[in-house]
Amino acid sequence: MKKILTLVCVSVLGGIITLSAYTMLFEKEALIVTDQTQPASSFINTNYDAKTANILNTNQLDFTVAAENTVHAVVHVKNTAVVSSQATLQDLFFGNQSSPRAQVGTGSGVIINKDGYIITNNHVIAGAKSISITLNDNRVYEAELIGTDEKTDIALLKIDADEDLPSIPFGDSDTAKIGEWVLAVGNPFNLTSTVTAGIISAKARDLSGRNSQSFIQTDAAVNPGNSGGALVNSRGELVGINTAISSQTGSYIGYSFAVPSNIARKVIEDIMEFGDVQEGILGVSVLNRNSKEAIERGLNEIDGVYVSNVADNSGAKVAGIKDGDIIKKLDNVEISKFSDLSGYIKTKRPNDVVNVEVLRDDKVKTIPVKLSKSDIVVVEFIDMELRNLPAEFKKENNLTEGVLVQKNDNAFLYRKLGFRPGYIITRINDIEMKTIEDISKFTEKYGKNAQDKIEKLEFIDAYGKRKEVIFQ
């Protein structure tokens, strides 16, 4: 009996000790888990070892030199415009005129040479009555607007300084690679001399509704005020002009876009030499991937872009490019989508020769093509022949958009609506038709169903009157 009693006592005592230890252990764990004062967890490689540590230590990224070499060449741009203030109910009641007021907008710009030439976005200085430039050392200058190109959203300014100015050299945006580190330098929210870092997330990004359809996409933080600022590589070379963000809030959420430096450089060189932009045209329309026609014809998996039409009088037609060719490269630059093609061509001028590598009948061949002037190329669109308006005609008539109807075999438009050669198409479905490239994009999107997708057509008739046709 004593033995049994002793055994029971020992068992009870062991249970108490075990329970106490269990309770102490888990109460302590619960305290650690719920302790809000603990620092956040650090995340490290699961295979971290001495070798990994050496690699990380010897390859530390250092942007200090690139930042130092560029921050002094990025300027603050202030645009002062005069606008009419909104009329109040009292103004309307008493018939008062709304009074003009000054409206100030700000952005960034990049000094590109020691003589004071500055590149920025067209939208930064649009409508400006005066433009002032503040350097990084707080010197202020009035700027002269040398020229703009709305299509690429690039503008060129000039200031006269007493001494040579710091500048950023151009880099080659065609050789920039996805995953490469870049810095965005600018003045977000009027915070001057701000530098952020990220990588190139994508190239030749086509943004719906934007004129320049070949953006560099980065995850470097860009906010309002960064427009017109510099996107530079780790060597401090200019690879892009920061232009836009993708956001539902108006502030940066992870995506920013820049006009490639090769396009920007060509635009400002044209403005400086010719006074306007010299557009070279290849003269092909391509079939857009994911379009109904591309899917039906099994063309979504091709490596390159499919030529659906070759424009009359174009360099491509003269050189022998044919419908059905698949363009794979331009001057050894790989082409996988329309924005690749249009982005590269934007860096060229009329009469430049581009080596076009095409796949035809399962054979690859390279065809040299001399680019044409944009106003002599004719494209077909819903049984009409269209061409760009001459630059001189646009200037004389104060036009920023429009394509000329050269020939009209569309029975419905011609007979029912009296739509005649000589008319100028300005908009389709509220989308501006600035050039035949915009017409080509509409065709690429809808293919043979393009006419069925037209809901509204706006145009200028032979008497210079703006009209519109609503399609039911």
Contact indicator for 229, 109 with CB cutoff of 8 Å: yes
Report CA-CA distances (Å) from 382 to 148, 201, 377, 378, 409: 33, 37, 17, 13, 9
Output DSSP code: residue 41. Answer: P
What the block records as the tokens of 25 is 């252990």
Contact indicator for 241, 120 with CB cutoff of 8 Å: yes
Contact indicator for 264, 241 with CB cutoff of 8 Å: yes
Based on the residue annotation, tell me whether 123 is a catalytic residue of this protein.
yes
Amino acid letter, residue 369: V
SS3 for 109? strand
Hey, which residues does 49 pair with through a beta bridge?
none
Single out the catalytic residue among 76, 108, 123, 214.
123
Q: For residue 42, how far is the Cα from the chain centroid?
A: 36
Single out the catalytic residue among 76, 108, 132, 153.
153
Based on the residue annotation, tell me whether 153 is a catalytic residue of this protein.
yes
**Alpha helices by DSSP H, 195-291:** 261-274
* Spatial distance between the Cα atoms of 433 and 149, rounded to a whole number of angstroms: 15
Contact indicator for 388, 400 with CB cutoff of 8 Å: no
Single out the catalytic residue among 132, 167, 173, 227.
227
| Cβ neighbours around 83 below 10 Å, total | 12
* Spatial distance between the Cα atoms of 337 and 327, rounded to a whole number of angstroms: 10
| Cβ neighbours around 271 below 10 Å, total | 21
**Residues with catalytic roles:** 123, 153, 227
